[in-house]
Structure 1
Amino acid sequence: MLEMREHIVREKWIDIETFKIIRDKLRWCYRIEGVNHLQKCRHVVQQYRDSTRGIGWGKNGRHRDQHGPKVQSLD
């Protein structure tokens, strides 16, 4: 039980740090691309949206795999 909880905590910290890295990439892309950010940063926005799915601790402490299937965009 303790090993499983430690594993979940480690995975959540990894997800949170990955989210922070992608967030910084998105900020950089917006700043560099300026008015063209809607077209040039679209792939980073998609990564950002995917990385926010199931992140954080939440009230019920569910693991990210228990939040339901990821929805693929039709782009």
Structure 2
Amino acid sequence: MSALPSTDSMQATLDARDAKVRENWVRTMQARIVREELQKCQKAEGINHYQVCHGLAEKYLELLKDAKVQGYRVIDV
């Protein structure tokens, strides 16, 4: 028979899972906030938004690279 994991190790695993999911949500929400600010900037600046909002657009693209919420389990299909 295999030994059951201890309560401390199970709690540590659950805490690590929660931390990973929480971190993913934080990154996703950061991207959402930057997207909303970019939309406001584009609406306010009109035709000049390409020049004025360029920094926000670059930041949004950078945040999009890892702004996906993933669970703690990775399943390869």
**TM-score bracket, shorter-length normalisation:** 0.7 to 0.9
Of the candidates 35, 39, 42, which is equivalent to residue 27 of structure 1? 39
Structure 2's unaligned 5+ residue stretches are 1-12
**Aligned-pair distance for 1:61?**
5.8
Structure 1's unaligned 5+ residue stretches are 63-75
| One-letter amino acid of the structure 1 residue matched with residue 46 of structure 2 | G
Quote the Cα distance in structure 1 between the aligned partners of 2:47 and 2:14.
Answer: 50
- If the length of structure 2 is used for normalisation, what is the TM-score? 0.71
- If the length of structure 1 is used for normalisation, what is the TM-score? 0.73
Runs (4+) of structure 1 exceeding 2 A deviation are 57-62
> Aligned-residue CA RMSD in angstroms?
2.0
| One-letter amino acid of the structure 1 residue matched with residue 52 of structure 2 | K
Q: State percent identity of aligned pairs.
A: 27
Quote the Cα distance in structure 1 between the aligned partners of 2:15 and 2:71.
Answer: 21
Aligned residues: 62
**Aligned-pair distance for 1:57?**
3.0
